[in-house]
Amino acid sequence: MLVSYVQQIPWLRIADSMQWFFMIYFVAINLAYLILNYISAYQIVRYMREYRANYLPAGLREYQPPVSIVLPAYNEETSVVSSVRSLLKTSYPEFEIVVVNDGSSDRTRDALIAAFGLVRVPEAYRTRLQTAPVHGVYASASYPRVRMVDKGNGGKADAINAGINCVRYPLFCVVDADSILQPESLSRVVRPFLEDSRVVASGGVVRVLNGCTVRDGMLDKIGLPNRWLPSFQLVEYLRAFLFGRMGWSPMNALLIISGAFGVFYKERVIAIGGYRTDTVGEDMDLVIRLHRNLREEQRDYRIVFVPDPVCWTEAPTDLASLRNQRMRWQRGLAESLWTNIGMMFSRRGGAAGWIAFPFMLFFEFLGPMIEVVGYVSMIVLALCGLVQLDVFLIFLAAAVGMGILLSVNAMLLEELSFGLYSRPTQQLRLFLVAILENFGYRQLNSIWRFSGTLSWMFTRRKRHSWGRISRDGSWQHSHKEDAPAASSSAAVSESSTHQ
């Protein structure tokens, strides 16, 4: 009896240490998110008070700086024409659209040529950033704002670099080929450059397009997805953008601008070598390198976030596509943090190096691993009788309860500020989704992200693909003449060679 009791002591101590570790970690991460929550809420309320009306009178719009829109496209025949039509209808005085066909294996190139009457032109192409070979530049007499760069496959980052080589204006905006912008989107995301000469980059909110209706490239009706998986992602996007990124912006500690929609000062991006092509997280890596470079040069700068609902993108609708996407995002996070680890706690790191970078490392990068191990360990310990029931319930309250609180807060703030989902049935459904996503979906997402971390750890030197993302394009309704460009409803692969 005594021997048995003595043998149990180490296990009791281990169990006690583990439960306290996981409890402290989950409380710490939720408190950190809660602080970001309150910062974001204050900033959004302030933003809505200042910018609820149109930003500029019509007579002053001509003073907005010209912008080049770069649209990297690979196998996007179902959506690229609608995206370009959406961009053409933006209410901005001077802009150009540079579509970069990154060696697509489907009809992306042909769809663009047919829809916009593109012809090859003898345009000088200045190689300021090294890219895969460029086969030609195309322009349109009917749509003088639209050009297309046709190049060999090199990945999304390589395609953006090729677009930067071709753009004419000092500011460039990167937009995904499956995204739709609202007419005021570009004006609102460029606004920080007008207000503050120190701004070098600006990002906007990305919303889930599933359930909406797009006609002739314009958002016609805002709706909710009719399937649970995109609905969970909708709430996830609200939480990530309205609270996560909005919270970091006032501290000048924003480490990521979504690759789906962001504006950058061209010369500053070229000065740091453009987008890295050896990572799947090129958007976050670029922003972190901008921080590092500008702080090392001791420049006064700003990287900001605009909370307007300005960009709409189609979310994955099947588990396989979502799994690939989340593993890819986690790998991109790992690559971005690892290659820029010198920024953390550096002498000139500022809030980005001393607060945001450690947060991303300990909570966003290590968080999925600790969450998965924490759930499994606490369940096993509870089944073995090594954790008391009240302690286990407190753990669940810290792990799940705060997640529900943050999701519901994001939904409520969206309705109080932008109010895009105004019908009672929509609000009720969002509230239900905000609760249910914490029971199964969030844990599954953590498992995928943990798998992405393991994949990065064991295959760091291997070139990885974007995986396969299914897109049905069911949200778009185009002109009859655009039918060939959007006729395919089959899943579109982002290819095994397209990073």
DSSP string, 384-422: TT-S-HHHHHHHHIIIIIHHHHHHHHHHHHHHHHT-SS-
Res 60: pLDDT: 59
Asked if residues 378 and 22 have their Cβ atoms less than 8 Å apart, the reply is yes
Res 58: pLDDT: 57
Say how far apart CA 435 and CA 407 lie, in whole Å: 7
Say how far apart CA 236 and CA 269 lie, in whole Å: 30
Q: For residues 74-103, b (16+ Cβ closer than 10 Å) or e, as one string?
A: bbbbbbbbbbbbbbbebebeebbbbbbbbb
246 residue type, one letter: M
Nearest to 120 by CA among 134, 106, 133, 104: 134
Per-domain residue ranges for the chain? 1-54+178-459
Res 134: pLDDT: 93
pLDDT tens per residue across all 499 residues of the chain: 434 444 445 666 776 677 778 778 887 888 888 888 888 888 888 887 776 655 555 555 677 899 999 999 998 888 888 889 889 988 898 999 999 999 998 899 999 999 999 999 988 788 899 999 999 999 998 999 999 999 999 989 999 999 999 999 999 999 988 788 888 889 889 989 988 999 999 998 898 988 888 877 678 888 899 899 999 999 999 888 877 888 899 999 999 998 889 999 999 999 999 999 888 889 999 999 999 999 999 999 999 998 886 788 888 989 999 999 999 999 999 999 999 999 999 998 999 999 999 999 999 999 999 888 888 887 787 777 776 777 777 777 777 877 888 888 888 878 777 778 878 888 889 899 999 998 889 999 999 999 999 989 887 666 555 445 665 555 555 544 443 333 333 333 343 334 4
- Burial zone of 457 (CB within 10 Å; 0-12 exposed, 13-18 middle, 19+ buried): exposed
Res 148: pLDDT: 95
Round the CA-based radius of gyration of the chain to a whole number and report it: 24
